[in-house]
Amino acid sequence: MRKMKIGITCYPTVGGSGVVATELGKLLAEKGHEVHFITSSTPFRLNRMYSNVFSHQVDVNSYSVFQYAPYDIALATKIAEVIKNENLDLLHVHYAIPHAVCAILGRHMAGSDIGIVTTLHGTDITVLGSDSSLKEAIRYGIEKSDVVTAVSNSLRDQTYDLIDPDQTIETVYNFVDERDYHVKDAGSLKNELGIQENEKVVIHVSNFRKVKRVGDVIETFYRIRQKVKSKLLLVGDGPEMSRIQEQVRELKMEGYVLFLGKRDNLSELYNISDLKLLLSEKEAFGLVMLEAMACGVPGIGTNIGGIPEIIESGKNGYLVELGDTEQAAMHGVELLSDNEIGSRLKAGAIETVASKFHSSRILKEYENIYERLLNKG
Ligand code: GMT
């Protein structure tokens, strides 16, 4: 495989699409490629030093005439500059809006014909795709990209349905860095969090937006708690937080639900957990489910979006219909109270990550796409 110079644009702050883009950049660098992040700030997961990873920050002019600072134009200009100055071979942008459109404009500004790969992550289609002020721009970004990938078959199909682009969309699944996410000893963390050894741990991680249905997570846990001695870890923060805190108070569950806020040490938290709940109404993939499974935590997830492409009922967790907290709790109780079932699903979770979503496999798929693009040019 020839060594390439790859420009990557993504949202650098917390969020699945930025995590995947950054982890991919790191793996590409470890394979000897030169990686240039072109973003509004240094990606938060870029926590190791690499001699062949560079971060180019977009400067936005806040001239007083502008009612809104022109970030998209500034990003396109920076992309053009990096294409020329660094002699890039290709661009890989994550999230259609505005990144795909900026990449196309930047390439044009640079007078270049390098290939553009756009990866769709979910809300760029499932939420923004029905906004009439953005739909045409999303279609344009998809059609003018050279290769378009989606993080699940479900998102690929939804993109065809909602946007109807004249473009082929390939599925490339997400992955986790197995060096961080694996089964390990979490030391005294359980004890430090005030959880007794004989208590089971249920975990939910999200940005607490409405689509995540955290209320259903609380309801499910409420039912589980009536049968199994357990605690619920809520990790993350977002607009629904105060409503959720109120729900927990109303159910008199304050002593059993731990609000941990935003955390970096997710793999340690997963390693004290026995069950992961992801009961969203929209989820193009569900990276947090994969992270948990890599740490040996089986999941209960809704039968929507990309979740059924990760969870196989009875093998590595269970699928339930949206809003069916009774069924979710029934499976939760079964999994947490029957050691044989718990261990089988745990082994299934680890096996699924290793066979279907291994980082080496996904990295190869992206490298093959890049290689194909370079051969075409
Ligand atoms: O879930 C979110 O709200 C964040 C969003 C993002 O853009 O970072 O996540 C999307 O991309 C992730 C990485 O591909 C997927 O794992 C999430 O399922 C997807 N979120 C939704 O579709 C709601």
Domains belonging to the chain, first-starting first, are: 5-175+358-376 (3.40.50.2000), 189-356 (3.40.50.2000)
Q: Where are the alpha helices (DSSP H) in the chain?
A: 16-30, 71-86, 101-109, 123-126, 135-144, 153-163, 189-192, 214-227, 241-250, 266-270, 287-294, 307-310, 325-337, 339-356, 359-376
**Dist. CA 79 → ligand 1 center (Å):** 24
Percentage of the chain lying above the pLDDT 70 cut: 99
Residue 265: what pLDDT?
81
Confidence category of residue 66, pLDDT binned at 50, 70, 90: confident
Average pLDDT of the chain?
95
Is residue 15 scored above 90 in pLDDT? no
Judge if the beta carbon of residue 286 lies within 6 A of ligand 1.
yes
Judge if the beta carbon of residue 122 lies within 6 A of ligand 1.
yes
Q: What is the residue-wise DSSP string for 245-275?
A: HHHHHHTT-TTTEEEEES-S-HHHHHTT-SE
Neighbours of 313 (CB within 10 A): 15
**Dist. CA 173 → ligand 1 center (Å):** 12
Confidence category of residue 316, pLDDT binned at 50, 70, 90: very high
Q: Nearest 5°: phi and psi at 325?
A: -75, -20
Judge if the beta carbon of residue 94 lies within 6 A of ligand 1.
no
Judge if the beta carbon of residue 151 lies within 6 A of ligand 1.
yes
Total-model pTM:
0.95
Half-sphere exposure of 367 (CA within 13 A, CB side): 20
Confidence category of residue 123, pLDDT binned at 50, 70, 90: confident
Instruction: Classify the complex by whether its ipTM is higher than 0.90, answering yes or no.
Output: yes
Judge if the beta carbon of residue 287 lies within 6 A of ligand 1.
yes
Judge if the beta carbon of residue 155 lies within 6 A of ligand 1.
no
**Dist. CA 272 → ligand 1 center (Å):** 24
Instruction: Look at residues 23, 17, 368, 50 and name the one whose alpha carbon lies nearest to residue 178.
Output: 23
Mean pLDDT, residues 366-373 taken together:
97
CB 315 within 8 A of CB 335: no
Judge if the beta carbon of residue 9 lies within 6 A of ligand 1.
no
Judge if the beta carbon of residue 121 lies within 6 A of ligand 1.
yes
**Dist. CA 207 → ligand 1 center (Å):** 10
Q: Which two tokens stand for residue 231?
A: 């605690």
Name the 3-class secondary structure at 86.
helix
Q: Give the span between the Cα atoms of 146 and 144, in whole angstroms.
A: 6
**Dist. CA 282 → ligand 1 center (Å):** 9
C-alpha triplet 231, 237, 240: angle, nearest 5°? 90
Half-sphere exposure of 39 (CA within 13 A, CB side): 26
C-alpha triplet 76, 42, 85: angle, nearest 5°? 45
- DSSP structure class, residue 58: P
Is residue 141 scored above 80 in pLDDT? yes
Judge if the beta carbon of residue 123 lies within 6 A of ligand 1.
yes
Q: Which two tokens stand for residue 280?
A: 């969203």
Percentage of the chain lying above the pLDDT 90 cut: 87
Residue 124: what pLDDT?
81
Task: Write b or e for each residue in 276-307: b if 16 or more Cβ atoms lie within 10 A of its Cβ, otherwise e.
Answer: bbbbbebbbbbbbbbbbbbbbbbbbbbebbbb
Q: What is the number of the ligand 1 atom nearest to the C-alpha of 282?
A: 23
CB 319 within 8 A of CB 303: yes
Mean pLDDT, residues 332-359 taken together:
97
Is residue 129 scored above 90 in pLDDT? no
Mean pLDDT, residues 268-286 taken together:
97
Choose the residue to mutate in 124, 214, 240, 287 for probing ligand 1, maximizing ligand atoms within 8 Å of C-beta: 287
Q: Give the span between the Cα atoms of 171 and 154, in whole angstroms.
A: 9
Which residues touch 366 (CB under 8 Å, ≥6 apart)?
24, 28, 92, 117, 172
